[in-house]
Amino acid sequence: MNFGAIFPTPEIGTDPAAIRDWAQAAEGLGYSHILLYDHVLGAEHEGRDPKFMGPYTEKDPYHEVFVTMGFLAAVTETIGLSTGVLVLPQRQTALVAKQAAEVDILSQGRLRLGVGTGWNYIEYESLGEAWDDRGKRFDEQVDLLRKLWREPVLDYTGEHHRIDRAGILPKPRPDLPIWFGGFNDVAMRRAAKKGDGFIYGTKPERVTEQFERMGELLEAEGRDPTGFGADASIDFSQGEASWVRNVEVWRDIGGTHLSLRAMDTAAVYVGEKHVGYSGTQSYIDALETFMKAVA
């Protein structure tokens, strides 16, 4: 099983040395990947119609994922880099293709692009993208990303995109993996059709039924579930007994990746407890404690 470390983006701060130290510690401890959450804007929740839900507000800092991964690629050597997930329909597809290609090139093939549709309609509006048709655009975007990575010149006309005999250079790996993420059957159906894996976003004990459902969807698409990636997460606050139990559950059913979430932001929202992290070393200590317990 591949153990990953979720980048504590709302809490790590803005000191490049602290970010470097955390990433190098994760790599040195044997973590296989760093998973980065994505938000461009934070927004006030009060007084919204429709009601504005979600664990993050205007007070939660978020490092921009592609720039951060470029930095992480430079200060590490082997650890994988993954978005978990990039909110794809609120972005221009060709630009995402270009940015992802650059990270994959500069990291020497360490990028795994996790994508989803998100929940923050304020971000969509602020970035000039429609909220209501995000699902249809998302499906087309995934196809277009792969075409841009693989074809030298593209003449493409879709429902939402037009590329007139153009392409991107330099190119990444043609098989750069695209994983999907989400919490409903629609997201899993999309992943079964077009994805290389699925990011479940919570602990294995909570997603065993979804995992089994994903296997059924993959088989219905004529795909082999054993070649499909599965990344769940585990919160540090749960403690060692829960870590070990969830690792065993995930390994027994065939999960491939498990990412550690060690930060207090939104912990209560997702049903976890505050730990009281203080300073960069506390996040590094959490990485070490977890790895010693489960590796």
- Cα angle 66-199-180, degrees, rounded to a multiple of 5: 70
**CATH code where residue 107 lies:** 3.20.20.30
pLDDT attached to residue 170:
98
At residue 50, φ and ψ (nearest 5 deg) are: -70, 160
Q: Does residue 174 have a cis peptide bond before it, meaning omega lies within 30 degrees of 0?
A: no
Is 160 part of any domain?
Answer: no
Query: What is the pLDDT averaged over residues 248-258?
Result: 98
pLDDT of 182 higher than 90: yes
- Domains in the chain: how many in total? 1
Is 131 part of any domain?
Answer: no
Q: Which residues constitute the domain of residue 194? A: 2-80+100-112+172-294
pLDDT confidence band for 54 (50 / 70 / 90): confident
CA-closest candidate to residue 95, choices 84, 103, 107: 103
pLDDT of 228 higher than 90: yes
CA-closest candidate to residue 20, choices 293, 289, 280: 280
Is 250 part of any domain?
Answer: yes
pLDDT of 222 higher than 90: yes
Is 129 part of any domain?
Answer: no
pLDDT of 166 higher than 90: yes
Answer whether 34's CB lies under 8 Å from 289's CB.
no
Is 94 part of any domain?
Answer: no
Is 132 part of any domain?
Answer: no
Structure tokens at 199: 């990011």
Query: Any idea which residue has 């606050």 for tokens?
Result: 237
Is 59 part of any domain?
Answer: yes
| Mean pLDDT of the chain, nearest integer | 97
Is 152 part of any domain?
Answer: no
